[in-house]
């Protein structure tokens, strides 16, 4: 395995709902290395979303340890987490989550705004990212002037513009038709081939099939963690 | 991009919620309008009035039984004051050594002046004067001549009339040499006053001057009705000394004990304008309190708008946080938005206030030809500052609510 990026051991996430304690994750240990292509699968309620939130540094664990590139995530406050999300993680959402009033270019620039990159460099890098997803000709379009597939490409460009350590995609084809979904999966594949680390969270076998390693969750535990024989 | 983007989001919010934001912006506007209009009108007025008061004569003192313009003083006490009689005033004049420019006068508003079939409205101010009147006060005649010492001493029925009276009685003929009638007494017109304009809509030209001895005989309620004494110091440096001497003599003449306070008013010109500024400050205080009250109400409206805005954009906030926006970025975005809203309303109020005060100035120009519009620069700057403060103060809570949203829940929000 390449240099590890994500090192999770004995991770527990517990929520309090009223007087009841709910364990979303119980004792999960997991290591993901650089330039892996991983799919995290599981039925709803399996703890898949909670694990994704953990991996994406949107939430911190109740117990256990989580090191991201050697940094202890449990020790971090809100702003530290924001910074690590900004620099290390590129999110791709099922519903794209683009800002409706901003152009494609401005949407892609946004993470760079938050990391304090100057305007000229920001626009340069955003244009390059849009080129990588073949949307150079749609830079000044707003989301409502783009098709679903194009919107997801903009979102992917936004995810890769900061050159993050991982690209974390949550059901990235969930809102797309089959054909467009295939195109998007091909794009992820080429990003992976280009040296990126890609983590997909999905419940669709068809999507998970593209990954090189498939982790299956059930009831907050890892049920299986295997190399994908089909890939 | 961020600040500008927040500004355009704020303008979008106004457009999409026309009624709600319209009302909020209106209340900001009203607050700023009240402050700007009142300040501007009052400073325009005070400039014009202090100009007029300066006309009373430079380095002059005015001695009166009661103050000209009065706020909050004890009227019961004022009414008990004894009159300054003409005899007392003459005695005062004889005793003064630091200056000999002393004029004694008295006035009676609301006279009707007649000449033949013509008659004025019953609003002419009749002023009894002595020969020093034209020396001490900045008043002059444009035709004919002033009254003489002997005319005053011998109570001659002569009169000097203002331009408004000329216009009413003698529109076509030369008024000098004509006869006028005041309450059945006839007077020979010997002069015409130079046009002066008005103070607070009261014309300075609607007056008739006659010797004070005649005035005392026919036009006061009693022989010893209180007179006014104008004292002109020989120069500015002597003003305080002249005032001290005049105060001492008046106290002696009126039998004021050393431990008692003056039972008369003695004021320099600047003090008279000070009395006027007491009047303007009262109006300003009302305008500012109601203006600031409207702004606070507007602030609460802004806060409500911003809370709705935060709620509607929960998901967007989640996305921004996921992409790495720190709390202060979110706070900044929403503060820029609420300040923009305030400034938008403030700008309308400001333009309205400036237009209204300019309009009032133009309306007053008829009565006060010397009026010049005073642009309220300091108040405009203040309004911009106060709108920013209101935007900050009332935008802070919604912005903080936005900044502390949990990104996971915000992303899940539908």
Contact: B327, A56; criterion CB under 8 Å? no
Query: Is the residue at B268 inside a domain?
Result: no
Mean local confidence (pLDDT), B246-261: 91
CATH code at A196?
3.40.50.300
ipTM of the complex: 0.93
Choose the weakest-confidence range: A100-114, B67-81, B183-197, B285-299. B67-81
pLDDT of residue B69 exceeding 60, the answer is: no
| Greatest distance between any 2 Cα atoms in chain B | 102
Residues B173 and B315 grouped into a single domain = no
Q: Give B10→chain A minimum CA distance, Å.
A: 12
Out of B1, B9, B322, closest to residue A58 by CB: B322
Residues B207 and B250 grouped into a single domain = yes
pLDDT, tens digit, 9 for 90 and up, residues B146-164 = 999 999 999 999 999 999 9
Query: Is the residue at B73 inside a domain?
Result: no
Choose the weakest-confidence range: A87-91, B212-216, B289-293. B289-293
Interface test with A, best of B309, B322, B329 (most A CBs within 10 A): B322
Which of B1, B109, B67, B5 minimizes the C-alpha distance to B264?
B67
Query: Is the residue at A120 inside a domain?
Result: yes
Residues B132 and B192 grouped into a single domain = yes
Q: Please tell me which residue, B42 or A40, carries the higher pLDDT value.
A: A40
Beta bridge partners of residue A7, listed in sequence order: A31, A67
Query: Is the residue at A77 inside a domain?
Result: no
Residue B5 in contact with partner chain A when CB distance is under 8 A: yes
Q: Give B395→chain A minimum CA distance, Å.
A: 21
- Which residues on B lie below 8 Å from A56 (Cβ)? 322
Contact: B315, A97; criterion CB under 8 Å? yes
Residue B16 in contact with partner chain A when CB distance is under 8 A: no
Residues B45 and B87 grouped into a single domain = no
Residues B102 and B20 grouped into a single domain = no
Residue B219: per-residue pLDDT: 83
- Which residues on B lie below 8 Å from A168 (Cβ)? none
pLDDT of residue B117 exceeding 90, the answer is: no
Q: Give A165→chain B minimum CA distance, Å.
A: 14
Domain closes at, from B243, B263, B283: B263
Residues B22 and B144 grouped into a single domain = no
Residue A153: per-residue pLDDT: 95
Mean local confidence (pLDDT), A107-131: 93
Query: Is the residue at B29 inside a domain?
Result: yes
The model's pTM is 0.67
Find the domain containing B119 and state its range. 82-263
Residue B1: per-residue pLDDT: 45
Choose the weakest-confidence range: A159-168, B51-60, B182-191, B397-406. B51-60
Which of B158, B170, B190, B161 minimizes the C-alpha distance to B119?
B170
pLDDT of residue A112 exceeding 90, the answer is: yes
Query: Is the residue at A163 inside a domain?
Result: yes
Q: Please, what is the average pLDDT of chain B?
A: 84
Residues B106 and B17 grouped into a single domain = no
Say if residue A118 is exposed, middle or buried (CB neighbours under 10 Å; 0-12, 13-18, 19+). Answer: exposed
- Which residues on B lie below 8 Å from A87 (Cβ)? 324
pLDDT of residue B67 exceeding 80, the answer is: no
Distance CA A204, CA A222 (A): 17
- Dihedral pair phi/psi, residue A217, rounded to 5°: -110, 150
The count of structural domains within chain A is: 1
Contact: A99, B316; criterion CB under 8 Å? yes
Residue B10 confidence class, pLDDT cut points 50, 70, 90: confident
Query: Is the residue at B332 inside a domain?
Result: yes
pLDDT of residue B197 exceeding 80, the answer is: no
Choose the weakest-confidence range: A216-220, B10-14, B105-109. B10-14
pLDDT of residue B199 exceeding 60, the answer is: no
pLDDT of residue B378 exceeding 60, the answer is: yes
Distance CA B331, CA B392 (A): 10
Query: Is the residue at A206 inside a domain?
Result: yes
- Which residues on B lie below 8 Å from A58 (Cβ)? 322, 407-408, 411
Intra-chain end-to-end CA distance of chain A, in Å: 17
Residues B124 and B226 grouped into a single domain = yes
Residues B98 and B238 grouped into a single domain = yes
Query: Are the C-beta atoms of A168 and A56 separated by less than 8 Å?
Result: yes
Residue B9 in contact with partner chain A when CB distance is under 8 A: yes
Residue B399 in contact with partner chain A when CB distance is under 8 A: no
Interface test with A, best of B312, B323, B331, B411 (most A CBs within 10 A): B323
pLDDT of residue B55 exceeding 60, the answer is: no
pLDDT of residue B224 exceeding 60, the answer is: no
Scan residues 258-317 of B and list those with Cβ closer than 8 Å to A: 315-316
Query: Is the residue at B23 inside a domain?
Result: yes
Q: Please tell me which residue, A111 or B136, carries the higher pLDDT value.
A: A111
Contact: A87, B324; criterion CB under 8 Å? yes
- Residue B125 half-sphere exposure toward CB, CA atoms < 13 A: 15
Query: Is the residue at B388 inside a domain?
Result: yes
Distance CA A104, CA A10 (A): 41
Out of A79, A85, A101, closest to residue B322 by CB: A85
Residue B324 in contact with partner chain A when CB distance is under 8 A: yes
Q: Please, what is the average pLDDT of chain A?
A: 92
- Which residues on A lie below 8 Å from B5 (Cβ)? 101-102, 106
Task: Give the 3-state DSSP-derived string for B35-55, with helices as H, strands as E and coil as C.
Answer: HHHHHHHHHHHHHHHHHHHHH
Query: Are the C-beta atoms of B220 and B138 separated by less than 8 Å?
Result: no
Query: Is the residue at B68 inside a domain?
Result: no
pLDDT of residue A229 exceeding 60, the answer is: yes
Residue B166: per-residue pLDDT: 92
Say if residue A205 is exposed, middle or buried (CB neighbours under 10 Å; 0-12, 13-18, 19+). Answer: exposed
Distance CA B387, CA B366 (A): 35
Q: Give B320→chain A minimum CA distance, Å.
A: 8
pLDDT, tens digit, 9 for 90 and up, residues B299-341 = 898 898 889 889 988 999 999 999 999 998 899 888 988 898 8
Residues B165 and B233 grouped into a single domain = yes
Residue B271: per-residue pLDDT: 63
Residues B28 and B99 grouped into a single domain = no
Residue B100: per-residue pLDDT: 86
Contact: A114, B8; criterion CB under 8 Å? no
Which of B147, B44, B16, B77 minimizes the C-alpha distance to B364?
B44
Find the domain containing A143 and state its range. 35-62+88-227
Contact: A111, B323; criterion CB under 8 Å? yes
Exposure pattern of B156-178 as b/e (b: 16+ CB <10 Å)? bbbbbbbbbbbebbbeeeebbeb
Domain closes at, from B263, B293, B325: B263
The count of structural domains within chain B is: 2
Three-class SS state of B15? helix
| Greatest distance between any 2 Cα atoms in chain A | 55
pLDDT, tens digit, 9 for 90 and up, residues A16-33 = 888 888 889 999 999 999
Choose the weakest-confidence range: A52-56, A122-126, A216-220, B133-137. B133-137
Query: Is the residue at A80 inside a domain?
Result: no
Evaluated on CA atoms B172, B177, B182, B186, the torsion sign reads negative
Contact: A111, B324; criterion CB under 8 Å? yes
Residues B97 and B246 grouped into a single domain = yes
């Amino acid at each position: 395995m390449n240099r590890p990026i994500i090192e999770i051991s004995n991770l527990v996430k517990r929520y309090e709902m009223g007087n009841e304690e709910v364990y979303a994750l119980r004792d999960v240990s997991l290591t993901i290395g650089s330039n892996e292509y991983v799919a995290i699968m599981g039925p709803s309620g399996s703890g898949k979303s909670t694990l994704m939130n953990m991996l994406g540094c949107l939430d911190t664990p109740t117990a256990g340890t989580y090191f991201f590139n050697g940094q202890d995530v449990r020790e971090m406050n809100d702003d530290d987490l924001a910074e690590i999300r900004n620099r290390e993680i590129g999110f791709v959402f099922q519903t794209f989550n683009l800002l409706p009033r901003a152009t494609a270019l401005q949407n892609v620039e946004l993470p760079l705004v938050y990391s304090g990159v100057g305007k000229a460099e920001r626009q340069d890098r955003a244009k390059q990212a849009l080129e990588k997803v073949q949307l150079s000709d749609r830079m000044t379009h707003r989301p409502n002037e783009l098709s679903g597939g194009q919107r997801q490409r903009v979102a992917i460009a936004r995810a890769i513009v900061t050159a993050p350590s991982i690209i974390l995609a949550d059901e990235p084809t969930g809102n797309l038709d089959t054909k467009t979904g295939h195109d998007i999966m091909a794009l992820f594949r080429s990003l992976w081939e280009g040296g990126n680390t890609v983590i997909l969270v999905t419940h669709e076998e068809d999507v998970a099939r593209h990954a090189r390693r498939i982790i299956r969750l059930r009831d907050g535990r890892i049920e299986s963690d295997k190399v994908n024989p089909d890939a | 991009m961020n600040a500008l983007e927040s500004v355009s989001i704020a303008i979008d919010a106004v457009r999409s919620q026309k009624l709600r934001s319209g009302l909020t912006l209106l209340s900001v506007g009203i607050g700023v309008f009240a402050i700007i209009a009142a300040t501007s009108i009052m400073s325009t007025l005070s400039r014009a009035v202090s100009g007029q008061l300066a006309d009373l004569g430079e380095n002059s003192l005015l001695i009166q039984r009661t103050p000209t313009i009065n706020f909050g003083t004890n009227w019961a006490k004022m009414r008990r004051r004894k009159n300054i009689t003409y005899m007392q005033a003459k005695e005062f004049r004889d005793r003064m050594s630091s200056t000999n420019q002393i004029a004694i006068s008295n006035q009676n508003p609301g006279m009707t002046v007649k000449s033949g079939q013509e008659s004025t409205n019953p609003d002419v101010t009749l002023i009894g004067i002595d020969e020093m009147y034209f020396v001490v006060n900045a008043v002059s005649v444009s035709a004919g001549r002033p009254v003489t010492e002997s005319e005053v001493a011998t109570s001659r029925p002569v009169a000097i009339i203002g331009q408004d009276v000329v216009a009413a009685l003698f529109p076509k003929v030369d008024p000098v040499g004509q006869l006028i009638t005041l309450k059945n007494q006839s007077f020979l017109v010997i002069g015409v006053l130079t046009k002066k304009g008005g103070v607070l809509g009261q014309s300075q030209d609607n007056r008739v001057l006659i010797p004070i001895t005649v005035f005392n005989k026919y036009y006061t309620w009693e022989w010893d009705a209180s007179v006014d004494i104008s004292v002109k110091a020989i120069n500015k440096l002597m003003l305080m000394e002249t005032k001290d001497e005049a105060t001492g003599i008046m106290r002696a003449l009126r039998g004021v004990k050393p431990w008692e306070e003056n039972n008369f008013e003695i004021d320099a010109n600047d003090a008279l304008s000070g009395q006027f500024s007491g009047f303007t400050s009262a109006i300003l205080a009302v305008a500012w309190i109601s203006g600031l009250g409207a702004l606070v109400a507007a602030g609460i409206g802004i806060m409500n708008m911003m809370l709705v805005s935060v709620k509607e954009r929960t998901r967007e906030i989640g996305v921004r946080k996921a992409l790495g926006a720190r709390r202060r970025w979110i706070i900044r975005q929403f503060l820029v938005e609420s300040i923009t809203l305030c400034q938008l309303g403030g700008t309308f109020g400001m333009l309205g206030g400036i237009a209204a005060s300019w309009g009032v100035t133009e309306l007053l120009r008829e009565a006060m030809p010397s009026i010049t519009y005073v642009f309220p620069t300091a108040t405009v700057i203040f309004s911009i500052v106060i709108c920013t403060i209101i935007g900050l103060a009332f935008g802070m809570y919604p912005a903080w609510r936005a900044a502390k949203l949990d990104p996971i829940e915000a992303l899940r929000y539908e």
